[in-house]
């Protein structure tokens, strides 16, 4: 949903223009968003024969949208297919071409400048682990690498001094750990037997085992703490700890029995893992006497178990952290992108190319005709491509938990499968292209970002514009005024909902004749009464009359 302002920015940038073939009106508004990331093109004369209208809805920053609005018109005209009059192929090639340019160092530097990011920040080296998702995580790991075990435990809610503190009346019963070399406090305060430490090799093994176990649990604690929004729940003691504290535990005294009344069960491990550990530890606690060899075997088994747990944790982390689109450099064009819907008008041909969820709609005698298809990850065609490229779609309809659309220019985090061509990456820049032959029944088209289409359907927008064009007639009221009214209509009163009406909004109305109001009125007269009734009710078929 993104971050929102305390009050919406309703200032609008507006424009009107046209020539003897087309007229247009545009308005754009930031709304509730903290920044404006949309861009557009309104070019009645891309060349002597062609007009171009486009909307770009940026995400992760405005830079890719602004870059496309600046350069895509020329990139389209540069295409060989465009010079040959093959506009559909030219649009496909142009989308892929500008998307490829965004990966070059020269363009990245320009995007950095557009985004207003310092060049030093872009080029400086950062301390980070390969599995880190962002710089904050890297800084945290770097800081923790220089901390002692005790400091780490305190950070994640396991203050050793508090956990080892006993009531005054029990103090005399506690064994002096410094005088008993065969027992040491474990990571959760439990007593761990280290009988094998009398042997130098065994002592080293036990120390390594203890250290590995401690770090394994700290890592699990840190992961769980981060996932729970910073709340730490790594503390707590068990009956096994209490028994060990009073000296009742046997040689294998690293057991942790069922939680004592009032204590909380660790939420950082699966039930299966807990039950397995519990069974092993119970078996160990039944042994009341053990030799030095048994202690060594126990230490070796614990070390193997710890290594296996660490490997499992590592595998899980790699699966979670290394998905394409979830790691990589934070730079414009890699962690940012834009949708693009581009309409070319040449003679009687309307050619519309779309990548993303912005949309172009034509009014044909008052009926909405979609000239583009919203690209959403959960759609079968898009989903198959995403999976084939090694990605996945989460339950909330996002690619690898990130983007909620499946085609865009930029977003090269998601375009790193070297075995696939650009158009088959999980996020593809290849547009769908539709062609329409215009006639007198086509009144106008609306090109807008999803800030409009998330609030109103295609037909609702066409009806909204139609009503105002009819009332406008031959007045001098500009088309941009109708668009501005539409934006205000779509704006949410507050941000308490699901985000609908809180997005940036950019919209343009393009009429296929300078006298659009007259054409709309004439088309309205052509309609049969039954047609008007059915369209008003959102149904193309006639409704049977009731007696």
The winner for highest mean pLDDT among 149-158, 240-249, 274-283, 503-512 is 503-512
**Helix, strand, or coil (residue 273):** helix
Nearest to 411 by CA among 341, 352, 326: 326
State the residue for tokens 């599995």: 131
Residue 298 in tokens: 């126990």
pLDDT for the residue numbered 222? 53
For the stretch 395-410, pLDDT in tens is 999 999 999 999 999 9
Q: Is the pLDDT of residue 114 over 80?
A: yes
Which residues lie below 8 Å from residue 226, measured CB to CB, with a gap of 6+? none
Two structure tokens written together for 360 = 């172009």
Say what the pLDDT of residue 403 is.
93
Checking DSSP bridges between strand 367-370 and strand 409-410, what pairing results, if any?
Answer: unpaired
Rounded to whole angstroms, the maximal C-alpha distance in the chain is 103
pLDDT at 107: 96
Retrieve residue 339's tokens: 């949708």
pLDDT of residue 247: 38
Q: Is the pLDDT at 259 greater than 80, yes or no? A: no
Are the C-beta atoms of residues 325 and 426 closer than 8 Å to each other?
yes
SS3 call for 192: strand
**Is pLDDT at 427 greater than 90 in this prediction?**
yes
Report whether 395 contacts 377 (CB < 8 A).
no
- pLDDT of 317: 44
Gap between the Cα atoms of 308 and 224, Å rounded: 19
Segment 29-38, tens digit of pLDDT = 999 999 999 9
d(C-alpha 519, C-alpha 263), whole Å: 77
Average pLDDT value for residue range 480-496: 97
Confidence of residue 330 (pLDDT cuts 50, 70, 90): confident
pLDDT of residue 147: 73
Summarised one tens digit per residue, pLDDT across range 6-36 is 999 999 999 999 999 999 999 999 999 999 9
Please tell me the predicted confidence (pLDDT) of residue 145. 72
List, for residues 47-87, the tens digit of each pLDDT value: 999 999 999 999 999 999 999 999 999 999 999 999 999 99
Question: For residues 411 and 427, is the Cβ–Cβ distance under 8 A?
Answer: yes
Question: Does residue 379 contact residue 307 with C-beta atoms inside 8 Å?
Answer: no
**Per-residue pLDDT tens over the stretch 88-100:** 999 999 999 999 9
Q: How far apart are CA 241 and CA 443, in angstroms?
A: 80
For residue 422, name the pLDDT band (cuts at 50, 70, 90).
very high
Contact (Cβ atoms closer than 8 angstroms) between residue 178 and residue 229: no
Residue 245 binned pLDDT confidence (cut-offs 50, 70, 90): very low
pLDDT exceeds 90 at position 388: yes
- Using a CB cutoff of 8 Å and minimum separation of 24, what contacts does 132-137 make? 132/321, 132/327, 133/321, 133/326, 133/327, 134/330, 135/330
How far separated are the first and last CA of the chain, in Å rounded? 50
Question: The tokens of 318 are what?
Answer: 């790699």
Split at pLDDT 50, 70, 90, the class of 542 is: very low
What pLDDT does residue 438 have? Answer: 96
List, in order, residues 6 or more apart from 166 with CB less than 8 Å away: 174, 245
Given a cut of 80, whether residue 169 has pLDDT beyond it is no
- How many CB atoms lie under 10 A from the CB of residue 161? 8
Of residues 367 and 531, the one with the higher pLDDT is 367
Residue with tokens 């994640």: 156
Does the pLDDT value for residue 529 go beyond 50?
no
- Half-sphere exposure (Cβ direction) of 544: Cα atoms closer than 13 Å: 2
C-beta of residue 490 within 8 angstroms of C-beta of residue 456: yes
Separation CA 196–CA 209 (nearest Å)? 12
How much is the pLDDT for 513?
Answer: 76
pLDDT of 128 reads 36
Which residue has tokens 């609306």?
446
- The overall average pLDDT reported for the chain is 74
For residue 55, give the 3-state DSSP assignment: strand
The residue whose two tokens read 């404006």 is: 36
In the chain, the percentage of residues whose pLDDT exceeds 90 is 51
Distance CA 123, CA 455 (A): 41
* Reported confidence tier of residue 477, pLDDT bands at 50, 70, 90: confident
CA atoms within 13 A on the CB side of 409: 36
- Quick one: pLDDT at residue 470? 87
CB-CB contact of 36 with 504 (8 Å): yes
> Contact at 8 Å (CB) between 504 and 44?
no
Per-residue pLDDT tens digits for 200-227: 555 555 655 665 566 555 555 555 544 4
Stretch 470-478: mean pLDDT: 71
pLDDT at site 372 = 97
């Amino acid at each position: 949903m993104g971050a929102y302002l305390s009050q919406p920015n309703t200032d609008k940038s507006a424009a009107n223009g046209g020539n003897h073939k087309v007229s247009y009106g545009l308005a754009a508004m930031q709304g509730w968003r903290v920044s404006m990331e949309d861009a557009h093109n309104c070019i009645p004369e891309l060349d002597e024969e062609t007009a171009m209208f486009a909307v770009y809805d940026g995400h992760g920053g405005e830079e890719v949208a602004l870059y496309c609005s600046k350069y895509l018109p020329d990139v389209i005209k540069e295409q060989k297919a465009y010079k040959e009059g093959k506009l559909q192929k030219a649009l496909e090639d142009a989308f892929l071409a500008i998307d490829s340019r965004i990966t070059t160092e020269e363009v990245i530097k320009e995007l950095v400048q557009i985004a207003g990011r310092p060049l030093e920040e872009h080029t400086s080296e950062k301390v980070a682990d390969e599995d880190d998702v962002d710089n904050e995580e890297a800084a945290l790991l770097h800081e923790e690498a220089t901390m002692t075990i005790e400091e780490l435990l305190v950070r994640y809610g396991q203050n050793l001094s508090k956990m080892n503190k006993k009531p005054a009346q029990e103090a005399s019963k506690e064994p002096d750990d410094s005088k008993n070399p065969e027992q040491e406090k474990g990571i959760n305060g439990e007593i761990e037997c280290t009988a094998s430490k009398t042997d130098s090799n065994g002592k080293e093994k036990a120390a390594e085992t203890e250290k590995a176990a401690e770090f394994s649990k700290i890592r699990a604690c840190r992961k769980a703490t981060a996932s729970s929004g910073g709340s730490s729940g790594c503390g707590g003691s068990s009956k096994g700890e209490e028994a060990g504290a009073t000296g009742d535990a046997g040689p294998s005294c690293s057991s942790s029995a069922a939680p004592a009344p009032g204590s909380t069960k660790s939420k950082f491990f699966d039930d299966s893992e807990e039950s397995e550990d519990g069974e092993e530890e119970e078996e160990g606690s039944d042994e009341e006497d053990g030799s030095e060899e048994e202690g060594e075997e126990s230490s070796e088994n614990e070390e193997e178990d710890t290594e296996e747990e660490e490997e499992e944790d590592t595998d899980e982390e790699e699966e979670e952290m290394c998905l394409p689109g979830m790691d990589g450099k934070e730079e414009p064009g890699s962690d940012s992108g834009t949708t693009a819907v581009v309409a070319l008008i040449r003679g009687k041909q309307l050619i519309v190319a779309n990548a993303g969820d912005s949309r172009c709609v034509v009014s044909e005698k008052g009926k909405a005709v979609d000239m583009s298809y919203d690209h959403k990850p959960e759609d079968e065609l898009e989903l198959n491509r995403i999976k084939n490229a090694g990605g996945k779609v989460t339950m909330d309809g996002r690619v690898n938990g990130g983007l909620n659309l499946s085609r865009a220019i930029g977003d090269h985090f998601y375009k790193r499968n070297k075995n696939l061509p650009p158009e088959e990456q999980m996020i593809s820049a290849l547009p769908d292209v539709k062609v329409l032959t215009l006639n007198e029944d086509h009144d106008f088209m609306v090109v807008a970002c999803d800030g409009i289409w998330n609030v109103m359907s295609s037909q609702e927008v066409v009806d909204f514009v139609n009503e105002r064009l009819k009332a406008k007639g031959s007045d001098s009221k500009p088309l941009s005024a109708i668009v501005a009214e539409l934006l205000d209509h779509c704006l949410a009163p507050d941000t308490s909902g699901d985000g609908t009406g809180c997005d940036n909004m950019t919209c343009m109305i393009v009429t296929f004749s300078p006298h659009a109001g007259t054409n709309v009125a004439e088309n309205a007269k052509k309609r049969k009464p039954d047609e008007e009734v059915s369209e008003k009710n959102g149904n193309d078929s006639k409704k049977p009359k009731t007696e």
